[in-house]
Structure 1
């Protein structure tokens, strides 16, 4: 088989198991991190801070960028007051930029300077100009994503220009009593492990944390009998379960490859190993997209993909099942790709509403 055929075959495998090797180029970690709001991080900190060590596991960590970002956000409460210096990818940036420019009777001009990529994976680069002056650039697998990133950069630059025109004393961010209390606390001792079925992705993840003994990555498949128990045995000290487990965008791949029973078994397993579960389940439309992509690649659709019976109501089924396993549920909002992000808890965090 030639190199091109091998590349296409590898790409097809990514669409079977969801282990995309360029995932964060079109779903940047900042989009998920925004759900860890200051109030939520403060609640988690105060729930955990009395423990000698706090344990967090990210299932399906890919190349570890999001895992590392969550680890950093949770570990030190002082990050709650720190402004971000990264361009946050949000489709709202397009509207926000238009609104900001309306009062100046200006309109942004978006220019696509490159339409690259492959036949199966597009790539777009878009520049944004204001009054014929370059203000930002964005790239992504769709023009909408690239445009949103470019708009985000333009907003940052406009905000920095406006801030420079305001006296320094007026730009200071007021610190609330709650935040002031939080920022004086010592960083928690947090131990994080990210797992994924793909050894190439885990190699990339390990390269991010060569000198950090509190952040660990390893190859593991939680659907193989006993692997999650082995992880708990090897990594948890004086604790029977993790304090927090996250499952970002992986329920569909477990469901497609392990069937309806496998999905429920995974939810039961994850719930049994954590006090809090942060989960982003994929809706049915994502399943249809996954199958269409495999068809375009002329790749054989696995039999397990065709055999599932939980379909249009899959998110509702997941929510209902987790409601039975956790007494508390908090909806954190929706991603830019319209997926719910939910936090399930066995212990209350500032008395969140009970699951219904």
Structure 2
């Protein structure tokens, strides 16, 4: 492997986004739909940060029906499965709970991604097909979003999610739909759930994503140079959710090794 390729791999990995070489060109993933994303960002590290605290907060919502969750930008489903195991109190190798839980509510996750190939991989490897549903969906398409979410709610006689997971998706929404798209996305997500878990990408990841496109001789993201929501993205996203999403920040789970803070918000809309 040429030295320049090695340098690019190590640089981009250090900045927190996977670098895929040869046929798996990083510029071919303008929505963050990297085909081997979890080689670089293993689900185990995120789940260890969340630990049992997330589960206890969600299970304390005292619902009579199942706990419903939405995973936006699920990629090939590895993290979705890890989150399901966490909520159910399962070890990595278990298919049933390891102990009798005081509130062993059923958990059902709806997991969506814009990439049909990744969704198909998730479907084929799904160890919990009765509890985890994968769908190809552009979450920024209001019509398609409404139809699919309503269909899921109708299955359980509910009108909202207990939790929505937005794990390293905000940058891709922002780059592809601009400032207004990011605000609309966050406000909608806050309106659709009791709890919202967000892992924002720092601004250095925006620069790295734009630089990759330039190196490939491709057009830059349409909105990159016109964005006014910049800088400390954890703070900016928190401000949007508090001031416009009618939510409160109730917990920070700390940073991953790729330098991203995982934040838990409680919506005051429901």
| Aligned partner (choices 287, 297, 304) of residue 223 of structure 2 | 304
Question: What do the CA deviations read for 1:238-274 (whole angstroms, capped 9, x no partner)?
Answer: 2111110000001000000000111101011111111
The DSSP-based 3-state class of the residue aligned with 1:243 is: strand
Instruction: Tell me how far 1:328 sits from its aligned partner.
Output: 4.5
Matched, 1:30 2:40: no
Match of 1:199 in 2: 116
Give the TM-score taking structure 1 as reference length: 0.63
Instruction: Tell me how far 1:303 sits from its aligned partner.
Output: 2.4
Alignment map for 1:1-356 (pairs within 5 Å) = 7=23, 11-14=26-29, 16-48=30-62, 50-76=63-89, 79=90, 183-185=100-102, 187-209=104-126, 212-236=129-153, 237-324=156-243, 325-346=246-267
CA distance in 1, matches of 2:184, 2:143: 13
Give the TM-score taking structure 2 as reference length: 0.81
The DSSP-based 3-state class of the residue aligned with 1:38 is: helix
CA distance in 2, matches of 1:299, 1:260: 22
Instruction: Tell me how far 1:335 sits from its aligned partner.
Output: 0.9
Which of these two proteins has the greater Rg computed from alpha carbons? 1
CA distance in 1, matches of 2:132, 2:222: 37
In 2, are the aligned partners of 1:260 and 1:308 still within 8 Å (CA)?
A: yes
In 2, are the aligned partners of 1:232 and 1:240 still within 8 Å (CA)?
A: no
In 2, are the aligned partners of 1:328 and 1:346 still within 8 Å (CA)?
A: no
CA distance in 1, matches of 2:193, 2:87: 16
CA distance in 2, matches of 1:228, 1:55: 16
CA distance in 2, matches of 1:225, 1:187: 34
What number of residue pairs does the alignment pair up? 238
List alignment gaps of at least 5 residues for structure 2.
Answer: 1-21, 94-98
In 2, are the aligned partners of 1:245 and 1:274 still within 8 Å (CA)?
A: yes
CA distance in 1, matches of 2:110, 2:221: 30
Q: Which runs of 4+ in 1 moved over 4 A?
A: none
Instruction: Tell me how far 1:11 sits from its aligned partner.
Output: 3.9
Instruction: Tell me how far 1:210 sits from its aligned partner.
Output: 6.6
RMSD: 2.1
Match of 1:144 in 2: none
Question: What do the CA deviations read for 1:134-175 (whole angstroms, capped 9, x no partner)?
Answer: xxxxxxxxxxxxxxxxxxxxxxxxxxxxxxxxxxxxxxxxxx
List alignment gaps of at least 5 residues for structure 1.
Answer: 1-5, 86-181, 348-356
In 2, are the aligned partners of 1:205 and 1:217 still within 8 Å (CA)?
A: yes
CA distance in 2, matches of 1:196, 1:287: 20
The DSSP-based 3-state class of the residue aligned with 1:66 is: helix
CA distance in 2, matches of 1:205, 1:51: 29
CA distance in 2, matches of 1:224, 1:23: 24
Question: What do the CA deviations read for 1:301-343 (whole angstroms, capped 9, x no partner)?
Answer: 1322222122213332211111232135211111111111000
CA distance in 2, matches of 1:211, 1:33: 18
Instruction: Tell me how far 1:58 sits from its aligned partner.
Output: 0.2
Compared with structure 1, are the counterparts of its residues 345 and 293 closer, same or farther at alpha carbon in structure 2 (3 Å cutoff)?
same
